[in-house]
Structure 1
Amino acid sequence: MSKQARGSTSLRKQRGGTMFGVIAGLLLGLVVAAAVAVYVTKSPVPFVDRASRGPDPSLPDPGFAPDPNRSLYGRDAPGGLAPSGPITIAPAPVPQVSQRDTPARRDELGDLLASLSKPGANTNTNTNTSPPPAVAPPANAKPPAAAPAGRYVLQVGAFRVLEDAEALKARLAFLGFDVRLQQAQVNGVLVNRVQVGPYARLDDMNRARARLAENKVEATVVRQ
């Protein structure tokens, strides 16, 4: 029994010491906070000091500063003060047209129109102008010479073997061309030439040459 009594008393002492420490800490914190608050209120704060300062005597008084808009007020406004009413800008004077000059100008225009409408002015101008003289052609001038008439032949091949020339001639005749053979000596060798034509007009020759090209036959123009 004595051991239980001793244990209970020791627990009570520990609880009492803990509570005492907590209360003592709270009281100490309140005292420190109060001391800091008193120190702050009595010490000079920078922004509080600025609010209590007066104007700097070295700076000019803003009431006597020159007005930057003084040039807009005009001559009638007092020095340094803006006019109370709205600023009105006087319109530029409009040049007046004198009425004395208008009748004279009208008379001059009337005289000019009357002089232009007279028939004499037109007759003078017509009599002074004459048509340019006709230029006679020279006596020795000759009419332009006509283009010489000729015939065109399309040569489509030259063969040493007569059978080859005959075969090409038959092929072109089957296509509707007017084909002929012509034999000639070239460097001592007999050559059989296959020719299409002749054509009296250049247009006909060009059309025939185009048809030969469509059938993959090359032709050379020979003028006779």
Structure 2
Amino acid sequence: MKGQRGGFALGLIVGLLAGLAIALAVALYITKAPVPFIDKVPQRTAEQDSAEVERNKRWDPNAPLAGKQPPLPAAAASAPTAAPSAPPTAARTPASAPAAQGGSTRDPAAILAGQSTDRAAEAFVYFVQTGAFTRTEDAEQERARLAMLGFTAKVSEREQAGKTMYRVRTGPYGTRDDAEAVQGRLQAANIDARLVRAEKP
């Protein structure tokens, strides 16, 4: 009797559990409710799907490289870009001040070079030589011819190749221009004239 009671109780429990399982399955099928521990993903609506599609259309894969910048408002994005302002007027440098005041703008190095050239030119004098003779009589005759033309000349001696030469020259002249002017006048009178430069004594 005890074995029959135990088998009956066990069969009753198994039958109840089976009935509950069947009833639960039918209820889930009818209501389509998520099954605990199995269907954990919530059902998506049509609105959520359309919103996801729009986000995918506007997605920019390069956005992270550009940095996190907030999107511009619609009014700011449509507004035209302002033209860049003109650069401020550069302050006048000290080098430009003399030019504005009428002063000299020459480079100091150029000024010094010009002064050096002037000093070098001042270290020489110029003569116009019309001949060099081996006899003093010929030199004196040449000097007399120049005197007749209105030029003052002098006869000077110089040793050259073991011989004494007598040179007939006019001058000295302080500048090359003055000497070249006299040379031109002598050449116009058919006199062979040569420009000679010598150091100041």
- Same fold, judged at TM 0.5 (above): no
Could you tell me the TM-score, scaled by structure 2's length?
0.43
Structure number with the bigger relative contact order (C-alpha 8 A, sep ≥ 6) is 2
- TM-score when normalising by structure 1: 0.39
Select the structure of larger CA radius of gyration.
1
